[in-house]
Structure 1
Amino acid sequence: MFDPGVVPASFWREDVVQVALARRDVAELFRAYLTQFTDCTQTQLALLTQHDRSDVSNWIRGSRHGQVSDINVLTRIAEGLRIPDSARILMGLAPADALVSSIRDERELADADLQLVPNARRRVDGADSSSTRIAICGSRTSSANHQVLDAAVRSLARLVMVRRLLVNHGPIGVGIEVITHIADHYQPPGLRAAVAIFGRRNVILDAEYVVFVGGGNGTQAEADIAMSLGKRILPLGASGGSSKAIYQQILRTTQLSDWMSDGTRAALESCANLAPDTGPGDITRVTDDFVDLIDNLVDADQGDLRD
Structure 2
Amino acid sequence: MPTDRTTTFRCHLDLPAGFRRGDLLAFHRRDPQQQAEQVDDTSLRKGLMWDGLPACLTLQIAAHAAEATLEIDGEPATDGTAALTAMVRRMLGLTQPVEQFEQCYRDHPQLGALIRHHPGLRVPLSATPFEALAWAITGQQISVGAAISVRRRFIQTAGIAHRSGLFCHPDPHRVAALDEDRLRQAGLSRGKAQTLLALSQCVIDGQLPLDDWLGAPPVDDIRARLLQVRGIGPWTVSYGLLRGYGWLDGSLHGDVAVRRNLQRLLGRDDKPDAAETERWLAGFSPWRALVAAHLWAMQAADGY
Q: What TM-score do the two structures reach when normalised by structure 1?
A: 0.26
Q: Which structure is higher in helix share? A: 1
**Structure label with greater radius of gyration:** 1
Q: Which structure is higher in strand share? A: 2
